[in-house]
């Protein structure tokens, strides 16, 4: 791309970043109480919450990781997207309503608080354990998103990674801490439109490029070898089952255990908004997943394997190669949007875990609503700055943390939520055991040779589920006399 083209892209990125900052400033001028700051005060429409949940759920992994993986793997890469899509469907069709109703019933603002109030005998222990684990994992996860921003900016502008990381991270911190949940959801909504637009434009551009150069999709995939032209990767026997299980295992992380996603369900106002949210979320996911898959396959046809040094940068490469600069700028903004929406939501999880779950509830401090909002903003700033430091200090090491964060948080708390929602015999002791087991098993399994046999994304979920059931049966919940009399 020439200097003029690069300047256009850079200008569009600056406009986009200023727009995100403007949303934060807008909500900073509103008088927000802690219900607004943590969960939007049930004032947000279902379609906006759906856009926010989807934008948050699909980070840079979709734009860079998943597209890069399918670009190298071929048709069998579809099973990763299939596992994720089934998880998204399950969460919206079977869990969203439960979250909405339970939030209203118990008047809670966080996933941790909900789990804690369900088990009065273990309330503070659950709050402390859950909050500490979430803060640890999500600080590292946040740092990884910051690193992704820096590398994305460097990929098209040559801007120093450290400078890019700090500038965009500060903007994320600013709009997140100023408006809390309200500003995060509305910035996510804008960002989700950019993400959809990206996965509509790029595959269309790729298809026209293939047609103009008279390229054959089937021949190219066949010549790639390694079963790239096969939906099952050219495998047979048990290898097919192992491949399908590993790829579909992404499903287990969508079962209510990701606090940055479940908070959107908790913020739903009523059945009408829930119905709207379901429709929007499912359509959005179909467009983005199909677009991501087609973009990767078309990239395999247009660019031979080995011509792109880093396969995860294939999408930005397509964008700059096939599209005019002003369109490329919009698409790159979409990639940044995927990263920023996830980062802002993770920052909010850290903030609420400390201010609401630990300071306000676990430590029992009586704080006025407005004071709690101010405290939360301070915590958001501190957590964000720590995330920047970890990002710059850790380099690529941080991505190793992300690899088991899905298992350590998503799968662990998914098992907890499913047990609470669908098994009445779940006990507080069982929940505590599940949380501890998930944290330990995610780390041990991911770093052991077992990861090559069965992915931790599935193993951790089943280990947690079994431990939760067994311990709940051994140590059933003690029912108080007042509860017995009420029943």
- State yes or no: pLDDT of 479 exceeds 80: no
Torsion on CA atoms 60, 62, 68, 70, rounded to nearest 10: 170
- Integer Cα distance of 245 and 382 in angstroms: 40
- State yes or no: pLDDT of 46 exceeds 90: yes
Burial environment of residue 486 by CB neighbours within 10 A (0 to 12, 13 to 18, 19 or more):
exposed
pLDDT single digits (tens) 401-429: 555 677 778 888 999 999 999 999 999 99
Question: Do 298 and 203 meet the contact criterion of CB atoms below 8 Å apart?
Answer: yes
Neighbours of 104 (CB within 10 A): 14
Name, of 285-289, 350-354, 437-441, the range with top average pLDDT: 285-289
pLDDT single digits (tens) 298-351: 999 999 887 887 787 888 889 888 989 888 888 888 888 878 888 888 888 889
pLDDT value of position 286: 96
pLDDT value of position 484: 45
- Integer Cα distance of 337 and 344 in angstroms: 10
pLDDT value of position 483: 44
Supply the pTM of this predicted model: 0.88
- State yes or no: pLDDT of 400 exceeds 70: no
> How many alpha carbons lie under 13 Å from residue 323 in its C-beta half-sphere?
26
pLDDT single digits (tens) 227-263: 889 998 888 888 888 888 888 887 887 888 889 899 9
pLDDT value of position 402: 59
**Per-residue confidence band for 123, with pLDDT thresholds at 50, 70 and 90:** very high
| Residue with more model confidence, 204 or 22 | 204
Of the listed ranges 72-86, 177-191, 259-273, 402-416, the least confidently predicted one is: 402-416
**Per-residue confidence band for 9, with pLDDT thresholds at 50, 70 and 90:** confident
pLDDT value of position 5: 58
**Per-residue confidence band for 430, with pLDDT thresholds at 50, 70 and 90:** very high
| Residue with more model confidence, 129 or 373 | 129
Over residues 267-280, mean pLDDT:
95
pLDDT value of position 165: 87
Q: What is the 3-state secondary structure (H, E, C) of the chain?
A: CCHHHHHHHHHHHHHHHHHHHHHHHHHHCCCCCHHHHHHHHHCCCHHHHHHHHHHHHCCHHHHHHHHHHHHHHCHHHHHHHHHHHHHHHHHHHHHHHHHHHHHHHHCCCCHHHHHHHHCHHHHHHHHHHHHHHHHHHHHHHHHHHHHHHHHHHHHHHCCCHHHHHHHHHHHHHHHHHHHHHHHHHHHHHHHHHHHHHHHHHHHHHHHHHHHHCCCCHHHHHHHHCCCCCCCCCCCCCHHHHHHHHHHHHHHHHHCCCCHHHHHHHHCCCCHHHHHHHHHHHHHHHHHHHHHHHHHHHHHHHHCCCCCCCCHHHHHHHHHHHHCCHHHHHHHHHHHHHHHHHHHHHHHHHHHHHHHHHHHHHHCCCCCCHHHHHHHHHHHHHHHHHHHHHHHHHHHHHHHHHHHHHHHHHHHHHHHHHHHHHHCCCCCHHHHHHHHHHHHHHHHHHHCCHHHHCCCHHHHHHHHHHHHHHHHHHHCCCCCCHHHHHHC
Query: Quick one: angle between helices 3-28 and 325-352, nearest 10?
Result: 30
- State yes or no: pLDDT of 207 exceeds 80: yes
Over residues 145-163, mean pLDDT:
78
CATH number, span 3-399: 1.20.1730.10
């Amino acid at each position: 791309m020439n200097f003029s083209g690069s300047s256009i892209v850079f200008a569009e990125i600056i406009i986009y970043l200023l727009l995100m900052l403007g949303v934060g400033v807008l909500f900073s001028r509103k008088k927000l109480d802690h219900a607004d700051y943590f969960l939007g005060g049930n004032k947000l429409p279902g379609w906006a919450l759906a856009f926010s949940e989807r934008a948050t759920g699909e980070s840079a992994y979709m734009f860079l990781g998943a597209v890069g993986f399918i670009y190298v793997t071929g048709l069998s890469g579809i099973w990763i997207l299939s596992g994720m899509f089934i998880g998204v469907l399950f969460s919206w069709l079977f869990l969203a309503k439960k979250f909405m109703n339970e939030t209203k019933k118990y008047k809670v603002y966080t996933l941790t608080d909900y789990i804690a109030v369900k088990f009065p005998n273990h309330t503070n222990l659950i709050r402390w354990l859950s909050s500490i684990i979430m803060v640890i994992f999500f600080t590292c996860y946040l740092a990884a998103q910051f690193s992704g921003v820096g590398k994305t900016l460097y990929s098209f502008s040559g801007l120093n990674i450290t400078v890019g990381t700090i500038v965009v991270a500060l903007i994320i911190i600013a709009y997140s801490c100023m408006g809390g949940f309200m500003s995060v959801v509305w910035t996510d909504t804008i960002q989700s439109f950019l993400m959809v637009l990206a996965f509509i434009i790029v595959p269309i551009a790729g298809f026209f490029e293939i047609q103009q150069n008279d390229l054959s999709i089937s021949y190219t995939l066949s010549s790639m070898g390694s079963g790239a032209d096969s939906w099952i990767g050219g495998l047979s026997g048990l290898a097919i089952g192992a491949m399908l299980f590993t790829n579909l295992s992404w499903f287990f992380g969508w079962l209510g255990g990701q606090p940055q996603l479940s908070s959107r369900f908790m913020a739903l106002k009523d059945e009408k908004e829930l119905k709207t949210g379901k429709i929007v979320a499912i359509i959005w996911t179909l467009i983005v997943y199909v677009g991501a898959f087609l973009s990767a396959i078309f990239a395999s046809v247009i660019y031979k394997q080995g011509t792109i040094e880093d396969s995860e940068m294939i999408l930005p490469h397509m964008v700059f190669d096939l599209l005019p600069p002003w369109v490329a700028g919009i698409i790159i903004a979409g990639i940044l949007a995927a990263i920023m929406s996830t980062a802002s939501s993770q920052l909010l999880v850290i903030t609420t875990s400390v201010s609401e779950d630990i300071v306000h509830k676990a430590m029992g401090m009586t704080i006025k609503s407005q004071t709690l909002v101010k405290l939360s903003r301070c915590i958001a700033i501190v957590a964000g700055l720590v995330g920047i430091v970890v990002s710059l200090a850790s380099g690529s090491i941080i991505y190793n943390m992300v690899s088991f964060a899905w298992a350590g948080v998503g799968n662990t708390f998914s098992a907890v939520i499913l047990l609470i929602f669908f098994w009445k015999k779940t006990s507080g002791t069982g929940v505590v055991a599940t949380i501890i087991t998930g944290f330990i098993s995610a780390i041990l399994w991911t770093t052991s040779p077992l990861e090559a046999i069965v992915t931790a994304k599935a193993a951790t979920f089943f280990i947690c589920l079994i431990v939760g059931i067994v311990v709940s049966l051994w140590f059933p919940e003690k029912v108080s006399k007042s509860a017995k009399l009420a029943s």
